[in-house]
Structure 1
Amino acid sequence: MTERLIQDAQTAFLCVVDAEMLISIHGCSVAEARTVLGDDSSSHMSVDELNAFLALVYVREVKGGRNMELSSFWLPGMYDGICRAINTQTEMFRELNRRLDVILTQDRR
């Protein structure tokens, strides 16, 4: 039954991360940026941009590309153009990825 309801990648992703979760993650990200970085830079990121970023991270993990550069998502022919709609956000995604990597891997250092 559930398989019939999931018709595309976005629907599948939204089964894992829903709108309420995105809003909560966005709020926490803005608060963390203000506290740790002393700036308001994350508040310029919309919930839709956060959704796109998390979807990229999710796809990268599913495809087994943990060590893959985020910029490779924009190469012609990669991931069936998954990044075409967010092409202008490349630099923001790199910065978010860098910050998350520091947070997620600091216990291993």
Structure 2
Amino acid sequence: MSSPRSLFQTVVDKNVPRGTREDAIDELAEERATTQLRLVVVTSGLDGRYRRQALNALSRCRATDALDKLANDTSLAPRFENGHKKRSRHGLGTASPIRICRR
């Protein structure tokens, strides 16, 4: 098994294939590496699919502290809402991840 730091670097490396990056997020969840998963969620410029997968992984890990930090981070709302508006035009979603965390 790779270290959480190494797995995080795999996730954010644009030269790594998509499947490998997704597997790295799953491994972070298995390791309960909530700090790294939270960092994936907040990393600007990272494809939204990885950020959403990391957010879902935090939920699966029941990482309530990390999810609370994300839910209370007002700087994230515009990023997620902007992405949400783009997806909504194409009919691919109705709830922002931040709203989901606050439930």
Larger radius of gyration: 1
Which structure has the highest helix share of the two?
Answer: 1
Q: Higher RCO, 1 or 2 (CA under 8 Å, sep at least 6)?
A: 2
Report the TM-score when normalising by structure 1.
0.31
Report the TM-score when normalising by structure 2.
0.32
